[in-house]
Amino acid sequence: MMFSKSYDFIQGDSPLLVSMPHSGLQLTPQVANTLVPEALALPDTDWHIPKLYDFLGSMNVSVLQANYSRYVIDLNRPKDDKPLYSGKTTGLFPHISFNEKPLFVQGAPVDKAYQQACIEQIWWPYHQQLTQELARIKQKFGYAILFDAHSVKAQVPMFFQGTLPDFNLGTNDGASCASKLLHAAQKSLLNSAYSQVSNGRFKGGHITRSHGQPIHQIHAFQLELSQATYMHDKDIYSLDSHKCAEVIPQLKKLIEALLACNPTHQ
């Protein structure tokens, strides 16, 4: 069983690596042929993340971008599929959407050999590239920073009540990232039009938790950006150019703050 390339990678020359594990849109035939019609639109995608961070190239930042949809395999879940949160969540091979409806037609078979192939040929290569690039960055700069870029709808009752803040920073309650870096990110958002929270509902998924090792000078945190900050309210899945003109400079300011912060300095 063979798959196409599971990710795209651009190597930069800075202490920062940006990961985009949920922006992929590609499906395998096994998934495409068994998804319910509503799920074929891939509603739970981290929409337009590569476009929002298009400025990273000019900043010489390394970028790792998934090609496959999270409906094929979720790169931000552990391969043993152990739950990351005590509340409701989706797994390594999601079977329900964020609106708690089935993703697949009734009676669709579960092929364990296919799932193992997905782990070996999609999940593992992504995480191996993360590990290799973080090690290369650390060797060159003495430390490495992993920024896991995500987005989600402002209202997802399955995950949280009410409306999500605009910028949701997660460092696994401080275990995956030096506080100095988190403070730099928080400071970059002060005096902006956007609300923020740290380690709220989104504390960072498997990528943040497994790759962030501050004691070894590898720092990781997740940004879960509310899609209300850059997408149309009613024109589903489309960018709002006016919102983008405001939020993209703020994202760039956040990235600049991280690049300017050396966690090894006291």
- Mean pLDDT throughout 59-86? 90
pLDDT of residue 109: 87
Domains and CATH numbers, the chain: 7-25+43-65+111-259 (3.40.630.40)
Write the burial class of residue 155 (CB in 10 Å: 0-12 exposed, 13-18 middle, 19+ buried). Answer: middle
Is pLDDT above 90 for 222? yes
- Which stretch of 11-20, 168-177, 217-226, 257-266 has the lowest confidence by average pLDDT? 257-266
* pLDDT-derived band at 233, boundaries 50, 70, 90: confident
d(CA 217, CA 223): 20
**How far is CA 109 from each of CA 35, 74, 104, 115, 202, rounded to the nearest angstrom?**
12, 19, 10, 11, 32
Please write the tens of the pLDDT for every residue from 4-42.
Answer: 899 999 999 999 999 999 999 999 999 999 999 999 999
Please write the tens of the pLDDT for every residue from 46-59.
Answer: 999 999 999 999 99
Mean of pLDDT over the chain: 95
pLDDT of residue 266: 62
